[in-house]
Amino acid sequence: MSRAGSIVLLTGAGISAESGLATFRGAGGLWEGQRVEDVATPEAFRRDPARVHAFYNARRASLAQVQPNAAHLALARLERAWPGEVLLVTQNVDDLHDRAGSRNLLHMHGELLKVRCLRCEAVHPWTGPTSLDTVCPACGRPAGIRPHIVWFGEMPLEMARIEAALETCALFAAVGTSGNVYPAAGFVAGVRPGVPTVELNLEPSLVSSRFTDRRQGPASRLVPAWVD
Ligand code: BJW
């Protein structure tokens, strides 16, 4: 048992869909009403920070209304039960994996419930709606607080740790992600040849053909069945 190999799990917006959070692409997607480039880039924030703050404040309000679902809970159960390491890499900026009990967890695209100072780079828990007047608790300067979110063109977080885990893992699974956004979409290609890889998704993703096993359906059904 102690020689059990490590597992790397990658999750995307699809795992939180049944909790009530909109995905990014497709029918009912978060971006249907507005162009992603208008809110999720550093340029958009420089151009209209008030709009971007309002967008993220609204997302945080939605987060308070939802709960982890059976898929989040199953992945937390896997981490507790598996004798080797289970590293959960999520692209999601929600906190549903945290609330479900996953602990070896990396938020590669940041976290809605954190903010970062543009000047001193300190990361702080979000404590209430942010605006142009929000002051950094560390350096005390105003107008320099941004969401702790990885926007397009910015480097995702914890990449060295993720790449090292991919190079040594014995199993890679991706749940609820469309394969549109890199570098996460390329993770399946980063495992050693011969390592089993499984995609659990409502529909085939853009990178489905890269996986050795593909299962289709809602995450709340597929993930517990796969884990248990
Ligand atoms: C269900 C379900 C259910 C539904 N059950 N399943 C060309 C090639 C390679 C890379 C690039 C390129 N051109 C540009 C790039 C780079 C760019 C990129 O990938 N662009 C693409 C659009 C092409 N990437 C970046 O910029 C990244 N940084 C980077 O590359 O840095 C390197 C670098 C930096 C500087 C200099 C030089 C190099 C950063 C990417 C940041 C992504 N940010 C976002 C927004 C976060 C902000 C916010 O939340 O507001 O992150 S974009 C958005 O997409 C969000 C997500 O994490 C990400 C992935 O989306 P995800 O999770 O896959 O969701 P969906 O909606 O797409 O899919 C949901 C899936 O679930 C679907 O398949 C459904 O079927 C399924 N589903 N219900 C199971 N019930």
Paired with 123 in beta bridges are: 116
Torsion angle, alpha carbons of 191, 182, 224, 196, to 10 = -20
Q: Clarify whether residues 182 and 207 are in a common domain.
A: yes
Quick one: which atom of ligand 1 is closest to the CA of 56? 50
Mutate-to-test residue for ligand 1 from 34, 55, 182, highest number of ligand atoms within 8 A of CB: 182
For residues 98 and 191, membership in a common domain is answered with yes
Pocket around ligand 1 at a 6 A CB cut-off: 12-14, 17-18, 23-25, 29, 40, 91, 93, 109, 149-150, 152-156, 176-178, 180-183, 201-203, 205, 218-219
Assign residue 9 the CATH number of its domain. 3.40.50.1220
Query: Comparing C-alpha atoms, which of 159, 216, 166, 226 is closest to residue 7?
Result: 166
| Long-range contacts from 185-192, C-beta under 8 angstroms, 24+ separation | 187/8, 187/10, 187/89, 187/162, 190/163, 190/166, 191/8, 191/166, 191/167, 192/167, 192/168
| pLDDT tens-digit profile, the chain (228 residues) | 346 799 999 999 999 999 999 898 866 666 656 667 667 889 989 988 888 888 899 899 999 999 999 999 999 999 999 999 999 999 999 999 999 999 999 999 999 999 999 888 999 999 888 777 888 888 887 668 899 999 999 999 999 999 999 999 999 999 999 999 999 999 999 999 999 999 999 999 999 999 999 999 999 999 999 999
CATH label of the domain that carries residue 125: 3.30.1600.10
Please tell me whether residues 90 and 180 are part of one structural domain: yes
Same domain, 212 and 161: yes
Domain finish residue from 131, 149, 167: 149
Task: Give the structural domain span for 124.
Answer: 24-65+111-149
Nearest residue by C-alpha to atom 68 in ligand 1: 178
pTM, rounded to two decimals: 0.95
Q: Are residue 117 and residue 102 in the same domain, yes or no?
A: no
- Tally of structural domains, the chain: 2
Residues annotated catalytic, as ranges: 109
